[in-house]
Amino acid sequence: MKRLFGTLFLTITLFGTADAQLLYRISGNGLTRASYIVGTYHLAPASFVDDIKGAREAMAAVEQVYGEMDMQDMAEVQQLILSAMMLPEDKHIGDLFTDQEMTRINAYMRSVVGADFTNPLITNQMGRMRPSVLATQLMLLQCMKLTPELNPTSLIDEYFQKEARKMGKRVGGFESAAFQIELLYGSKSIAEERDELLELVDNNAEALAEMQAMTEAYFALDINALGRIMRDEVESGDMTLEEFKTMVTDRNRRWVESMPDIMLTAPTLFVVGTGHLAGNEGVITLLQSAGYNVEAVE
C-alpha cells in the first residue's frame, strides 16, 4: 500500500538497518569543522525537535541549513503547484469514476470529512483535485485525527529552516520546487492515480494501521522498525525498483555529490527524510564511502 501515501511518505522508504538515532555528525576528509545531518518524518510536529538529542546544539554550531528544498521557494511557485494538483478545468473527479465507484468514494469521504461530493461546497473545494492529491489530503486529515498535536503549518522539516533564518543563518536546498512538483505529480498517469484512490477507499483500515505504525516508530526513534515496515511494502510489489531508484537512490547520489562543496563553504545542518539516511545506498553509507566519518550523535 506504499503508493497510497504519495506525497505524505515519499521519503520515508528504508532499506537495510541503522542505529536508533536521527542526528549524525559528519567530519574528516578535509573538513575543519563538523557538519550534521538529521532525518525527519514529514508528519512530525516541530516540537519533536526537542526529542532529537543534540539537534538544537547542532543548529547552534552550524552556519547554514540545507533541506531537500528551500521551503520559501514554494511560495514563489504557488500557482505552478496549484496547477499541478488540479485536473483540467473541464474535468471533475466524478468524470474519472463510475457511479458505483463514486458511491464508494463518497462513503469514504463522509467517514473522513462528514460530507461528500453531493455537497456543493465539497465539490467546489475538492472536486477538481487530481485523485492522488485527494487521497493525500484525506490521509492527512485522518493523520491529524490520530495525532492531535499535529499542525500542518508547523512541521519539523520547515522548523529547521525557519529557525535558521531567525538566527541569521543561510538556508538552501538540494532541489528546486519545480523538480519536487514534477516528482510528486508528474510521474503517474491519471489512470494510475485513479486506481490508487480506489485502493485507499477499499483498504482504508490497512492504510491507517500502516500510517500509525510508521508514525509511532519515528516518534520512538526506531529507524529499524521503519525499515521493516517499508521493506514489507517493497517486497509486496507496491513500489517498483525503478520508482525507488527515482524517488530515493538517484536523489541520494546527487545530494552526496553536492555535499562536499556545501560543507567546505560552511558547517551545515542537512535536513532530509529519514529514509534517505539508511541502507547501502543511503546518504550515510555514501558519505562514508567518500571518506567522511559519519557518527550518530549520542
Instruction: Read off the pLDDT band of 246 (50, 70, 90).
Output: confident
C-alpha cell at 80: 505552478
| Cα radius of gyration rounded to whole Å, the chain | 20
Cβ neighbours of 246 (radius 10 Å) = 13
Share of the chain above pLDDT 70, in %: 87
Q: How is the chain split into domains, by residue range?
A: 2-85+155-188+204-296
Residue pair 12/226 in contact by the 8 Å Cβ criterion: yes
Instruction: Specify burial of residue 236 (Cβ count, 10 A radius: 0-12, 13-18, 19+).
Output: exposed
Read off the pLDDT of residues 62-82 as tens digits, 9 standing for 90 and up.
999 999 999 887 766 677 778
The whole-number pLDDT of residue 16 equals 41
d(CA 196, CA 139): 12
Q: Taking CA 173 as the corner, what is the angle to CA 171 and CA 177, rounded to the nearest 5 degrees?
A: 120
Residue pair 223/40 in contact by the 8 Å Cβ criterion: no
- pTM of this structure: 0.85
Does residue 153 carry a pLDDT above 80?
Answer: no
The whole-number pLDDT of residue 20 equals 60
